[in-house]
Amino acid sequence: MTRIGYLAALSLFVSAAADTPMASAQQPVAPAPATAPAPAPVPTGPADPKTVLTETVGVLSGLNLYQSYLTIGLLADGKAERLYDEKAARSVLATVLTSLATMDQQLEKAGAAMQTAGDQAALAKVRGIVGLLQRQGKELIAFWDSGRPEDGARYEATRQQAWKQIVALLGLDKK
């Protein structure tokens, strides 16, 4: 997977302010910018079909990691601010966690098709972040169930760790 593939897709969703951590359950979420930034240039020329497929997996994986992170955070914030009822928040979070589990299973299968050590390493990083997001979601559920500050602190620590790894993977720290 190439970093340019991640950046090209991610530029559709990330503004110049996206290099700061997303809001936690204790902080309000800033409104999205009115317009999306221009997509990053995509290299042209003949491409090997396997390379195109690998880059596509990278782009879609990066977008899904970013979107899953946003969704979990929005659910946490929305429930904390009583914008979402308990049943709806838990239902959407269950959908996110199921999607992440499916993504991880498919990425495991795709691993055999990765041609280079770099692609395999990138895939391993993506799968590691998938695991962190799953843990973040489960820790959010534990916090909702218990209401204990220590459970909230575990959720927050995992949330920050996931964001740090997403930033590094997608090159958002290079802005």
The answer to whether 96 and 71 have CB atoms below 8 angstroms apart is: yes
What is the reported pLDDT for 39? 61
Question: How many structural domains does the chain have?
Answer: 1
What is the reported pLDDT for 61? 95
The yes-or-no verdict on residue 103 having pLDDT over 60 is: yes
Which residue range(s) make up the domain with 92?
A: 3-40+49-174
User: 20 pLDDT band (50/70/90 cuts)?
Assistant: very low
The answer to whether the Cα torsion of 83, 86, 89, 93 is positive or negative is: positive
CA 120 to CA 108: how far, in whole Å? 10
Torsion region of 45: left, alpha or beta (phi above 0 gives left; psi -120 to 50 gives alpha):
left
What is the reported pLDDT for 54? 86
What is the reported pLDDT for 1? 36
The mean of the pLDDT values for the chain is: 80
What is the reported pLDDT for 2? 40
The yes-or-no verdict on residue 157 having pLDDT over 70 is: yes
User: 43 pLDDT band (50/70/90 cuts)?
Assistant: low
Between 152 and 25, whose confidence is greater?
152
pTM for the whole thing? 0.74
pLDDT tens for 67-76 read 999 999 999 9
What is the reported pLDDT for 35? 54
